[in-house]
Structure 1
Amino acid sequence: MTDKLSQLKTMTDVVADTGDIEAIRRFTPLDATTNPSLLLKAAALPHYQDILRAAKARASSEGGSDREQLAACCDYFAVAVGTEILSIVPGRVSTEVDARLSFDRTGTMERAKRLIGLYEEAGIARERILIKTASTWEGISAAQQLEQEGIQCNLTLLFGFPQAQACADAGVFLISPFVGRILDWYKANTDLQVNSGDDDPGVQSVKRIYDYYKQHGYTTVVMGASFRNCGEIEALAGCDRLTISPALLEELASDKGALPRRLAPDKAGSDDDKTLLTEEDFRLAINEDAMATEKLAEGIRNFIADQRRLETLVSEL
């Protein structure tokens, strides 16, 4: 029998959740995704030192305030990393807008267009890029307009079902519901005992979204993310896409056991009626969900912190 990673690839598009070029070469995913935390890790690797210095030199040559130069350098670095990844993967790479713009619709759109422009300058067609932004109301609203302008988006930091509803109605290309971080919250705040992937609240959240989308004919891609263990991944086998860290890709590649399909469009059945949320509906629903509220806020804060660490690293070069 083939390994579980090979089996998974027959039913789910596997995406590498890393900026590590060597890991991407080894596991041959369809796509790859990055975020400020992953770019910070990449910036510390010897492989990327020349790329980072080149990004800083370009930003410095263009002038502007220190803040503007740091922002430009980080964009150049992100695009350089993404461009290198695209020389390996056959599909797409996700590149994230500065998390400090998570509540700024106009700022998100401007930064997204800048990133797309940099990729096109590097000879990369926009069809190979997904712009990532947090699943705030402003992020979703910006993504809706970007999609209409031919810039496809990956809505990240998605924890609550209302976020998934709003993303689908906005016509975004892809969402990244975070499995492991949902589990983290329940472990920290409840007495929940998880004995299998099916008991995992993060897995249950993705299954609910997947069933809702398929039942009601949405084309938005569901890509489970932020996994803590292979049990979560196996419980979502058959999901449209799964973005997986190198450590868990390695574990799946080493396991020769059987991997049955758990999700399929023709078996999807949702108990949730199709609902179009207003901004007021969305904000109230998220506010009612303590887990989604806290994890979304925490995720944005953490990405901002890593963005600032990356800027500090750049400034010290």
Structure 2
Amino acid sequence: MNSENAFPIGTLGQKWTAIEKRQWLEQTSVKRSYFDEVMPKIDGLKNDFDAFHYADLHYDANPVGESRYPLWALKSKSWSANKPTVLITGGVHGYETSGVHGALLFAQSEAKRYQDQFNIVIAPCVSPWGYETINRWNPDALDPNRNFIANSPAQESAALMKMVKDLDAPILVHIDLHETTDTDELEFRPALAARDGLAYTKGSIPDGFYTVGDTEKQDDALQKAIIDSVRKVTHIAPADDNHQIIGSDVTQDGVINYPLAKLGLCAGFTDYTYCTTTEVYPDSPKVTNDECNRAQVAAIVGALDYVLTTL
């Protein structure tokens, strides 16, 4: 694939207008159901958590999928101002399946044993339209995970930021669950280049799990604890020949760092002490969907077990 034919919509070197964005939207399709696959799992956790409806996404002119998506989160029943708060987010990129179901599996299987030490709030599917259409963007051709900024134009990002602000609780730990998939290079990065009028240069997808820390608050010990926990479930992504993963220098086995807040990333919008972005590789022949979900759980467990040693 080269830059000249990287994406079928738009003209090389020209940014998309509303016409191209509409063309892109109309070629998407619903492939699975947020209401059938995610909402019942949230409902099933209401005995263990306070489930709360924090916003609605409205896409009234959307020809694909629903025009309204209710956003739900789970909150510890034993919430106390005397406990530090942990925020777990999944499905910021809706197509990244284990981010959604890994967050829900943690709530179901492991969260109870941490609720005496932490307040826990889980937003398992921040981008339900993206979940249904298996898409990185929202219907406005915006990436929610580049729009955690003031006056965000992405409804998903703005809704989550408001929800966290309304909690009125300092966030000690923020764990944002993601995946890196083959479609990042086959579809989503070519689309991004086309949308922004840029040439597409093909990259590579690492085979394995890795984390993204914050260059502004680098915490090598936290990231190592996560990697050590996850390697019990799945393999860790190796560095490439340039000692990088997706173009960023590897600081230790399976770890890179980004300037999270500067890039408008979800993991960077809270005034956290500890944070990580997880990256599972679901397209590897070495893993199953269940292993991907369990890798996300292992990442959360590794992070929280480490933080407990620092309190």
TM-score by length of 2: 0.30
Higher strand proportion: 2
**Higher share of residues assigned helix:** 1
TM-score (norm 1): 0.30
